Structure 1
Amino acid sequence: MSRIFDDPRIAALLLALASAGVLLSALFFQFVLDYQPCVLCIMQRWPYVAVMVFGLVTWLFRRWKGLGDALLVASGLALLAGAGIAAYHVGVEQHWWAGTSSCGGSAPANSLEALRAQVMAAPVTRCDEVAWSLFGISMAGYNVAISLALAAYAFVAARAAYIRTPVSRTAL
């Protein structure tokens, strides 16, 4: 059981698999169930892609001592950023604050051509509308919890791997 915490390769693999699972779930909702993502939904996917890349690099360069520890920390930071984006999205969905200009809100047009350009450039899916929820929690809300849990795991695993590895950190 302790290997899932103190071996950076295993931790990176687990984080990459969890990230792939989250992304596959999002793609399932998008392409199978036809829930089209908004701009903030797309932004929430990028930290998971980064964690998958960090996991791949950890496996490819596993002989580089300390790299896995550093990439676990980077994964944790990426997941915290994803949790921040998701929390912001929850606030937009709950109308606690306004979304970005790319979320569907814009200033009124002063001409017919400007109005036409606004309509054509507007996103298909608005960020302030909850497309799907379970028990009153939207996908963005679940993403906050998942991202925070995975970030906590990444930081705990990085700390355990750092403590376990008897390598001089100044030699890096």
Structure 2
Amino acid sequence: MTRRSLILLAGLGSAGLLLAAYGFEYIGGLAPCAMCLWQRWPHMAAIALGALGAALPSTLIAVLGGLTMLGNAGLALFHTGVEKDWWEGPQSCTGAAAQDLGAMSAADLLATDTGPRIVLCDQVSWEMVGLSMASWNGLACLALALIWFAAASRNRTIG
């Protein structure tokens, strides 16, 4: 495959993962936690790099795409560790610290239909074969990083 083809494949891979995340959210009803949202940003950057790389398939763009996916894999691994209690996560989205109940009125606390929906980063909303969405995203990001770096190693070819 040419560098351009690999860049497009990697960018489309991020687009597919991002669409899947939105599908889980809007069709499946699984609201994302803060760390889930963080993992969407590198995919957005990779999509932009893929579009740019389609027009200008340079080594620099491919390397940046690979680094973006490695960073996202790191975020996903960190999130997986938080979910599995391997280490502490940000206090803003884990455990009781995420719920600032003192700032809520009694009516808000008792509301069953309009109250805030707090999604904790240390709770797994969905998993398949023992791996959470964060874990699957991390594995996918590693695979996409390999594609980006394969694109970077290709001689510049137009086509």
How does 1:14-163 map onto structure 2 within 5 Å? 14-60=9-55, 62=56, 68-105=58-95, 106=97, 115-116=102-103, 124-159=118-153, 161=154
Unaligned runs of 5+ in 2: 110-115
Give the structure, 1 or 2, with the largest relative contact order (CA under 8 Å, sep 6 or more).
2
Q: TM-score normalized by structure 2?
A: 0.83
Are the counterparts in 2 of residues 38 and 123 from structure 1 also a CA contact under 8 Å?
Answer: no
Unaligned runs of 5+ in 1: 167-172
How many residues align structurally?
Answer: 147
Q: TM-score normalized by structure 1?
A: 0.77
TM-align CA RMSD = 2.4
Distance 1:107 1:53, change over 3 A: closer
- Tell me how far apart the structure 2 counterparts of residues 12 and 107 of structure 1 sit (CA, whole Å): 39
Q: Summarize deviations over 1:124-165 as a string: whole Å, max 9, x none.
A: 100000000011110111111100111012112211x2xx23
User: CA shift at 1:107, angstroms?
Assistant: 8.8
After the TM superposition, list the runs of 4 or more consecutive aligned residues in structure 1 that deviate by more than 4 angstroms.
Answer: none
Are the counterparts in 1 of residues 10 and 144 from structure 2 also a CA contact under 8 Å?
Answer: yes
Q: Residue 80 of structure 2 aligns to which amino acid in structure 1?
A: V
- Tell me how far apart the structure 1 counterparts of residues 51 and 23 of structure 2 sit (CA, whole Å): 23
Distance 1:33 1:79, change over 3 A: same
Q: Residue 124 of structure 1 aligns to which amino acid in structure 2?
A: I
- Tell me how far apart the structure 1 counterparts of residues 127 and 59 of structure 2 sit (CA, whole Å): 36
